[in-house]
Structure 1
Amino acid sequence: MKLKSTVIIIIGLFIFLGGCSDTVAPKIQDKNPEEASMNFDMNNVKPFLQHISPLIDSGFSKKEITQVQEKIEKMKPDDEYEVGKFDIVYQDKKTQLIINAFMDSPDAPDIYIFTTPDLANKIQDEMIKFADELEADN
């Protein structure tokens, strides 16, 4: 009788916990990425991406920045698509950095960066500072 009760408890726990599964660490921990966005002059995209690169532990360096810049430079007016999707490490956690661009007008893309809420907020803050610095220089 004791064995039967133990088996029933084990089966109940098995069902309650969702059955058996292969344990694979999730690649992306953020199910709800947030957006940081701004319109740039073409010649300011790469400097801005270089400016935010130090915020990211790894996965977004010169190579990835050059890749994004080259894709954006090939865009025609009214083109809109993903120009980069990178597996990055931010604050010791794996996540993604997704960059979309919309060529609003020739040589002036709108850049949309999707990532963790914390990093997206920091990038948005840097976008504002970057725009303020450009305006002060003019």
Structure 2
Amino acid sequence: MEPVNGYYEASMNFDMEHVRPFLSQLEEAFSLGLDVDHLAKRVAEAEVETAYGCDLHLAFEGQPVNMKFSAWIDDIDAPDLYFYVTSEKLAEGIDAEMEKFCEAHGL
């Protein structure tokens, strides 16, 4: 995995109904300090053909990590979620959680 401007990417398309559960799973797995309710609400409220994004200062394994979270809403029911993080290990962990989520939900 190669960083771009110091950030590693993990991304996937989600059905809108799966955004909050995935963010909750991510927070449960890594205790990052994500405000799951706020992020899920902002994604759900974004208009089609727009992007929502924010910079987050979180903790991963006791170390500070920056995350650029964004959601591209090209379909009201299926946003693309992007997690750009300054930790390669966290990006790989997010990818692994996406895979687990898909397997658990038959996606």
Residue 98 of structure 1, CA deviation: 2.1
**Where does structure 2 lack aligned partners over 5 or more consecutive residues?**
none
CA radius of gyration, larger in: 1
Q: TM-score, normalised by structure 1?
A: 0.67
Q: Is 1:105 matched with 2:75? A: yes
Root mean square deviation of aligned Cα: 1.6
Code of the residue aligned with 2:64 in structure 1: it is: K
Query: 5+ unaligned residues in a row in structure 1: which ranges?
Result: 1-30
Q: Which has the higher helix share?
A: 1
Tell me how many residue pairs correspond in the alignment.
102
Q: Is the 8 A contact 2:27 2:33 kept in 1?
A: no
Render the CA deviation track for 1:74-121: whole Å, top value 9, x for unaligned: 112111230x32211111111112210001211110000111111011
Counterpart residue type for residue 103 of structure 1:
I
1:1-138 correspondence runs (5 A): 32-60=6-34, 64-82=35-53, 84-115=54-85, 116-135=87-106
* Deviations 1:33-75 (CA, angstroms, capped at 9, x unpaired): 1111111111100100110113334422xxx111111111111
Tell me the distance in 1 between the aligned counterparts of 2:32 and 2:39: 16
Task: Identify which of structures 1 and 2 has the higher relative contact order when contacts are C-alpha pairs closer than 8 Å and 6+ apart.
Answer: 2
Identity over aligned pairs, percent: 27
Distance in 2 (alpha carbons) for counterparts of 1:48 and 1:58: 14
**Aligned residues of 2:7 and 2:84 also touching (Cα < 8 A):** yes
Q: TM-score, normalised by structure 2?
A: 0.85
